[in-house]
Chain A
């Protein structure tokens, strides 16, 4: 962990070794994320899993994925929330029929 000092203008300087290690250049954007521990300075870019997924798609599949992505992004926040809340599980005792007994370990 590196301690950075906020100057009078609210700026902090990222040490050169970190810039070099992360390949950051002047003008690159970083995100400031508020977490329980404080602020995280976060470097953008594409993570390897997302990149691998995209690169594994054929051109035709990339076009289909883009069409689906446009439909998804056109949904309202409420519609997206509803989509991700489908099939919510109940806590009621009378729904316990689908619980499985612990298999022999």
Chain B
């Protein structure tokens, strides 16, 4: 895979499909192509090790599932904390016609905090949602403009933040 970011936010749809691929494994039933696609991308992103992140919502959902299925995901990923201004940026993304859930995920990509490093933002968001990726790329110029307008108004540490790239699982497999 030529795509080798050091930090990746996996959106909920990716985790769901990898989870469901394991459900099919446990039942010895064939997975769907979408489940295979997500599971293969997940496996490729796990090796070599890199910083894999999920949102707080995805972590919340996994914590309520049977540990046999959920624990490996919670061990292999880290739940980003919401950094200050995350929702402000998400609301501006909403104004650019992102769905509420998509706006939150994209905002995590710039304002999600890893308290362990510490670091803020990720290089890439990986999604199964073609519509989200297409919208992000189509509107990238205006998104970048609004983003830089916003962070220019913020205190010093936030002025250096960046936008992540948004890539789909299918496009990652195409690079393999």
Taking a contact as CB atoms under 8 Å apart, the answer to whether A69 and B26 are in contact is: yes
| A16 touches B (CB below 8 Å) | no
Please give, as numbers and ranges, the residues of chain A lying within 8 Å of B87 by CB-CB distance: 90-93, 95-96, 99
A19 interface residue per 8 A CB criterion: no
Contacts of A44 in B (CB 8 A): 30, 36
Q: Size of chain B's interface in residues, with CB distance under 8 A?
A: 62
Residue of B nearest to A47 (CB): B43
Nearest chain A residue, comparing its CB with the CB of B31:
A44
B171 at the A interface (CB under 8 A): yes
Q: Is B69 an interface residue (CB 8 A)?
A: yes
Q: Are A42 and B37 in contact (CB under 8 A)?
A: yes
Q: Encode B11-25 as 1/0 by CB contact (under 8 A) with A.
A: 010001010111111
**Residues of B contacting A78 in the complex (Cβ-Cβ under 8 angstroms):** none
Q: Chain B interface secondary structure, helix, strand, loop or mixed?
A: helix
CB of B165, distance to nearest CB on chain A (Å): 14
Query: With the chains together, A96 CA to B94 CA distance in Å?
Result: 16
Checking B84, B100, B170 against A100 with a beta-carbon cut-off of 8 angstroms, the contacting residue is B84
| Contact in complex: A91, B94 (CB < 8 Å) | yes
Q: How many residues from A make CB contacts under 8 Å with B?
A: 46
Residues A84 and B43 in contact in the complex (CB < 8 Å), given A53-B72, A91-B90, A91-B103: no
B142 near A: Cβ within 8 Å? no
- In the assembled complex, the Cα of A96 lies from the Cα of B104 at a distance in Å of 13
With A37-B170, A100-B84: A86-B60 Cβ-Cβ less than 8 Å: yes
When C-beta atoms are compared, the residue in chain B nearest to A33 turns out to be: B33
Q: Given the complex of chains A and B, what is the CA–CA distance between A48 and B82 in angstroms?
A: 32
Complex Cα–Cα for A33 and B41 (A): 14
For the complex of A and B, list the 8 residue pairs with the smallest distance between their C-beta atoms, beginning with the closest: A35-B170, A69-B26, A47-B43, A103-B118, A49-B43, A87-B60, A65-B26, A69-B23
Residues of B within 8 A of A (CB): 12, 16, 18, 20-27, 29-30, 33, 36-37, 39-40, 42-43, 46-47, 55-57, 60-61, 64, 66, 68-69, 72, 81-88, 90-91, 94, 100-101, 103-104, 113, 115, 118-120, 130, 133-134, 157-158, 168, 170-171, 173-174
5 A-B contact pairs sorted by A residue (CB < 8 Å): A48-B43, A86-B60, A86-B61, A89-B57, A99-B84
| Interface residues of A, Cβ cutoff 8 Å to B | 31, 33, 35-37, 40, 42, 44, 46-50, 53-54, 57, 61-62, 64-66, 68-70, 72-73, 83-84, 86-93, 95-96, 98-105
**Further pairs besides A50-B22, A99-B83, A102-B158: 6, Cβ < 8 Å:** A31-B36, A36-B130, A49-B18, A91-B94, A91-B104, A96-B88
